[in-house]
Amino acid sequence: MKKLLTLVFVSVLGGIITLSAYKFFIEKEQTITLETKQEQPQFINTNYDTKTANLLHNGQLDFTAAAESTLDAVVHVKNTAIVSAPTSLDDLFFGKRSQRAQVGTGSGVIINKDGYIITNNHVIAGSNNISITLNDNRVYDAELIGTDEKTDIALLKIDANEDLPSIPFGDSDTAKIGEWVLAVGNPFNLTSTVTAGIISAKARDLSGTNSQSFIQTDAAVNPGNSGGALVNSRGELVGINTAISSRTGSYIGYSFAVPSNIARKVVEDIMEFGNVQEGVLGISALNRNSKEAIEMGINEIDGVYISNVEDNSGAKKAGIKSGDIIKKLDNVEISKFTDLSGYIKTKRPNDVVNVEILRDNKLKTIPVKLSKSDIISIEFINMELRNIPSRVKKEYDLTNGVMVRKNENAYLYKRLGIRPGYIITKVNDIEINTVQDISKFTEKYGKNAQDKIFKLEYLDTQLNKKEVIFE
């Protein structure tokens, strides 16, 4: 028996040594290429004349002109990233660490003759190299000009030494539910492909936070369409295809796009400023489905009910008050908060927006100069902090602090339990009154801010006082 076990052990060991020697001395190192096909939300922007005469040919719908004018301006985007490969025998025996190339694919839209291209941020995220394939199969290396993760928009540039076909922006605010649109992209690594559908809804929020404002369509969108064009019957860009709603990973009836007005503003900001300039009204809205809204009898209002106006904001300075109901922004009808947030995303700080409000059963239009977003909220050590609404201060008798709106800091969340709704009152014995105090701390220490924190004082949602010492 012992001889048999010894023989088995020697055989296994010999096999391992032989395989390792083969891989190390003979087998050439291989690069494994993976293609990711995870669909993400899309963005659109439209400018559409609701007259449909240009869609009719011999009494039937005709999209040929719009398709012909857009096909060559939609490109294939390939993102190559270098990632660590799974641990192998080489790693165990020789201490090597294998790497592989992981490839993601999507679509993009040429927006001017100089070679600027819009796509989704998720299509090129983590890339070491980006290549663009035109509809005539020419391939170019692309330069990443800038990205905005919040809207999932990225801007690329290729140098083709010639004028390139492009798609003009339309006005997505004028797009109508029921309007025909085309989705143009590169699903399944094909050349440019066109599908048709209608706009099913506007100002859709897929996150549940009222921070998104997608255009929903029933045009067939599949993996590889992300970053492609949503165009109207005139061939104008009304959105950037970004996401689908699916249980299978493929199209089953709903797709979503970023409105073109948002996408256009993002890329113009990136080109001019290097980042996105966010403007805010400076108001908080009451969720119409909340218990408070139902008790107040305003859960079915058509508009946005203002529950709080931020100090030092443009809305406060213009005379907007809690209890006002926003009905329009610059003649654009506002029926819910995603309508409002989507429109404001197309504006910059110091832009003036005409706000039509309902107050005491009377309509009134008030011009408001938008403020910078950092008067309300700020990013801090992987948390999003915001000023405490006045009603919350009053309800819990708070005199200072900032509220945690989002927490992606694993240490603070898992070890200390800090989550949305908690109030941070002091950092290193420095009293925190507004996000400006947090901003000063960040400016002083920069990226090393968390390493400089030795004490953090905060309140949980039940107002139990806690003090945490960082080691």
Q: Point out the residues that are catalytic.
A: 122, 152, 226
Q: In the structure encoding, which two tokens stand for residue 245, read together?
A: 């709603």
Cα–Cα distance measured from residue 373 to residue 110, given in angstroms and rounded to the nearest whole number: 30
Which residues in 423-449 are b (16+ Cβ under 10 Å) and which e? bbbbbeeeebebbebbbebbeeeeeeb
Cα–Cα distance measured from residue 13 to residue 150, given in angstroms and rounded to the nearest whole number: 53
Q: In the structure encoding, which two tokens stand for residue 104, read together?
A: 């993601």
Q: In the structure encoding, which two tokens stand for residue 230, read together?
A: 């949503």
Rounded to the nearest 5 degrees, what angle is found at the Cα of 304, between the Cα atoms of 292 and 216?
A: 110
Of 273, 294, 244, the closest CA to residue 349 belongs to 273
Q: What is the DSSP string of 42-81?
A: --B-B---S--GGGEETTEE--HHHHHHHGGGEEEEEEEE
Distance of CA 306 to the CA centre of its chain: 25
Cα–Cα distance measured from residue 381 to residue 438, given in angstroms and rounded to the nearest whole number: 10
CA distances, 106 to each of 158, 189, 227 (Å):
16, 8, 6
Helix (H) / strand (E) element for 189: namely none
Cα–Cα distance measured from residue 16 to residue 18, given in angstroms and rounded to the nearest whole number: 5
In residues, how long is the chain? 471
> If you ran DSSP here, which 8-state letter would residue 169 be given?
B
CA distances, 457 to each of 271, 420, 429 (Å):
41, 15, 8
Q: How many helices (H) and strands (E) does the chain have?
A: 11, 31
**Which residue(s) pair with 196 in the sheet?**
182
Cα–Cα distance measured from residue 288 to residue 293, given in angstroms and rounded to the nearest whole number: 5
CA torsion through residues 397, 318, 294, 204, sign = negative
